[in-house]
Amino acid sequence: MFPNWLRAPSGDGNIGDDPFFVRIPDPGLDGVWGTDDDDYGDLRLTAGSLAINAGDPSGFLQPGVTDLDGHARVLCGRVDMGAYEFGIGSYDCDGQLDLIDWGYLQACFTGTDAGAYADGCEVFDFEYDLDVDLIDFAGFQDAIDR
């Protein structure tokens, strides 16, 4: 259940709807932040979140900027709201990792030190070092297993 204390943000650029976080932060049974039972949640987005591709594109045009997971800050065409970019590993940006994405991953493979990859292949650059190599294959495998 999306808590009311998250529903009424003020200021430009904020939204009051459920952002579909993986896990909503919770102050615990005591209802007080800053105590031992706090759960800071998991602020990564899930499929269907209206925060996906809803960020302000003007702030993230510099190359090399990442989200908190170290993935490219812009995936699937536009930056997301929040600290984590949604869609790593999913070339078709549907939030699912499957055989379709696997096919694109192989097409995007550049190998280490090969330089830039084609547009769209940044979804496979799990540690954002501007190549798609065996490390990224491992990242894709880990993401499928999650």
What are the residues binding Ca ion (CB under 5 A)? 27-28, 30, 32, 35, 37-38, 53, 75-76, 80, 90, 92, 94, 96, 101, 125, 129, 136
Beta carbon nearer to Ca ion, 38 or 69: 38
User: Would you say 5 and 26 are in contact if contact means Cβ atoms under 8 Å apart?
Assistant: no
> For residues 10 and 52, which CB has a smaller minimum distance to Ca ion in the complex?
52
Instruction: Choose between 10 and 145: whose C-beta lies nearer to Ca ion.
Output: 145
Contacts by residues 119-122 (CB-CB < 8 Å, ≥ 24 positions apart): 120/91, 121/91, 122/72, 122/74, 122/75
To Ca ion, the closest distance from the beta carbon of 67 in angstroms equals: 9
In whole angstroms, give the CA distance from residue 89 to residue 96.
8
Is the Cβ of residue 10 or residue 146 nearer to Ca ion in the bound state?
146
Q: State which residue, 8 or 99, has the beta carbon closest to Ca ion.
A: 99
The rounded distance, in Å, linking the Cα atoms of 130 and 110 is: 9
Distance CA 67, CA 107 (A): 25
| CB of residue 28 to Ca ion, shortest distance in Å | 3
Shortest Cβ 109–Ca ion spacing (Å): 10
CB of 59 to Ca ion, least distance (A): 13
Whether 23 contacts 45, CB under 8 Å: no
Least distance (Å) from Ca ion to the CB of residue 18?
18
CB proximity list for 95: less than 8 A, separation 6 or greater: 46, 47, 48, 86, 87
